[in-house]
Structure 1
Amino acid sequence: MLQRYSLSFLLSLCFLFITSLSAAQPVITNISPATGPSSGGTTITITGSGFTGTTAVTFGTVPAASFAVSSDSSMSVTSPVHWPQVVNVTVTTLEGTSVANNRSFFTFQGNWQAYCTDSDGFVWAIDVPTNTVTTSIPIIFDSNSTALAITPDGSQVFIANN
């Protein structure tokens, strides 16, 4: 026995069927490692689901240096250059963008250095994470020198005189 159905009913069934076949937006379940230098270049593995067809990976608002999708649940990503900060990593596909969760964050660590002077006229740069001296800078003071300032990247030293 044949039954008659309205066109709108049949279209609704088709819509439900097609929507159930479509992929869901991506979900990040792990990032490893979850830290790297602010200079970028860290190769990280992102695991989760819905990665097929990935069009972008971002660290905060900064695009990844590169990415390669291995499977629907795994991808390899190279971190970009970024200022020291904790950021949410997002994966974007045609289905949408992943939502932040407690496993989707990456920490960019800075190159922290301390500078010390000695009585022999040297400034010593110390790498804080490893507690090692990275360089020494000879400084010539005269009797009028009163202050010393070093740029954050250590490339310039300024001496103030009276």
Structure 2
Amino acid sequence: MSTDSDFYSFTVKDADLNDVSMADYKGKVVMIVNVASRCGFTKQYDEIQEVYNKYKDQGFEVLAFPCNQFGSQEPGTNEEICTFARTKFKVTFKIFDKINVNGSETIPLYNFLKKEGAGFLVDAVKWNFTKFLVSKSGKVLKRYAPNTSPKDMEDDIQKLLKE
């Protein structure tokens, strides 16, 4: 498979700027979400953590990518973002380097997600807390709107975990 069509070929930076290969998540169901600390949807951190706690021992992972492109709602440094999420919401899932999800500086992983999980705006992420669900085989199952509760994704998560 070519690099632009294989989820596992991408490498991204975590919040400490270490390289993380998506190949590390082979065989797992993955939720990828762009997050922000000052958004009306920020309270979803609680629900995402709840869903993560419920399924992490079954092979479910959450990858959170802070993004400041929507209303400048994520102005902090990686360290500030992680401290906020871990202190206020007790987040234990992985938080990555702050990124752009739209425009010319979009990281390649997000270009792939947007192409494979086309949504309402097709090639753009609409707002913070847009969620993508990736199967154990690296296929983008679906894109979920920012206002979709992570709990409303549980049926899809359960189906993918059984595959």
TM-score normalised over the length of structure 2: 0.18
**Higher-helix-fraction structure:** 2
Which of 1 and 2 has higher RCO (CA within 8 Å, sep 6+)? 2
